[in-house]
Structures are given as structure tokens and as C-alpha cells.
């Protein structure tokens, strides 16, 4: 069966982000539906479905990039959940952020660890 890029992307998005990812797309429906479509098709259908890196490696790279960018707390929250969903441990997530200190300095790392703390607590509570 030949899946479209959108179908492939939606499947991958569910695999990585579960409901959180679908909520991001749904929240875009009335304001910028094409933005949601591109995230599904391009980010998840094209990029996340590629070979040469496994899903855990892709999430590690994504977390490093989002943390370094700064101002992406909402997206970090989604992808910290995604990292946990694909089997990266909380300890390893914190370690990813610590590895970035020499390249980004402490403030970006403090912000990312703050988001991680909230996510870990919510999942424990939930």
C-alpha cells in the first residue's frame, strides 16, 4: 500500500508525540491549516521517516536544536514528551541538555531543564 506523505507523516507523528502532536495540528486548523499540513508532511512524513538515524537519535538531535534556538519552550515540551515516548530516559534527556552547556551557555540549559522538570512531574502525576 502506498501511503501519501501526509498519511506517513501522521503515523510517524502519532508514534513520536502521541496526542500532543495531534493537538498542535488541531489547534492550527482554524487559523493556519496549511502550517499543520506542512509539519505533518515535511517534518514528519519526509524528514522523520528517513533512514540512517533511528527515532531515539532523531529526538536527541531535535532536543539539542530546540534548546539551542531558544524561545521554543512550547516545542521543547512536545519533544521532551516525544523523547520519553520513544524510550529515552529522563536521566538521558537531562544529559542531552548538559552536553550543550559548552556551546550554548547556562541560560538556555536552565530554561530547557525547567521545561523537563514540569513534563516529568506531569507524567508522574498523570
Q: How far is the CB of 28 from a copy of itself (least distance, A)?
A: 7
3-state secondary structure 97-120: HHHCHHHHCHHHHHHHHHHHHHHH
Closest C-alpha to 64, from 80, 40, 48, 86: 80
Neighbours of 43 (CB within 10 A): 15
Nearer to a copy of itself, 10 or 96 (CB): 96
Interface residues toward a copy of itself, by CB under 8 A: 24, 28, 31-32, 34-35, 38-39, 42-43, 46-47, 50, 52-53, 57-58, 60-62, 64-72, 74-75, 91-92, 94-111, 113-114, 116-117, 120
Q: How far is the CB of 114 from a copy of itself (least distance, A)?
A: 8
The residues near 52 (Cβ < 8 Å, ≥ 6 apart) are none
Q: How far is the CB of 64 from a copy of itself (least distance, A)?
A: 4
User: Alpha carbon 69 to chain centroid distance?
Assistant: 14
Q: How far is the CB of 92 from a copy of itself (least distance, A)?
A: 6
Cβ pair 84, 17 in contact under 8 A: no
Nearer to a copy of itself, 19 or 32 (CB): 32
Amino acid at each position: 500500500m502506498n501511503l501519501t506523505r501526509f498519511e506517513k507523516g501522521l503515523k510517524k507523528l502519532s508514534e513520536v508525540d502521541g496526542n500532543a502532536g495531534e493537538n498542535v495540528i488541531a489547534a492550527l486548523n482554524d487559523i493556519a491549516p496549511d502550517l499543520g499540513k506542512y509539519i505533518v508532511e515535511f517534518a514528519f512524513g519526509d524528514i522523520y521517516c528517513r533512514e540512517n538515524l533511528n527515532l531515539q537519535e532523531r529526538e536527541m538531535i531535535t532536543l539539542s536544536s530546540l534548546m539551542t534556538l531558544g524561545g521554543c519552550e512550547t516545542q521543547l515540551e512536545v519533544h521532551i514528551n516525544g523523547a520519553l515516548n520513544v524510550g529515552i530516559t529522563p536521566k538521558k534527556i537531562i544529559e542531552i541538555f548538559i552536553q550543550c552547556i559548552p556551546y550554548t551557555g547556562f541560560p538556555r540549559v536552565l530554561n530547557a531543564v525547567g521545561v523537563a522538570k514540569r513534563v516529568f512531574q506531569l507524567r508522574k502525576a498523570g
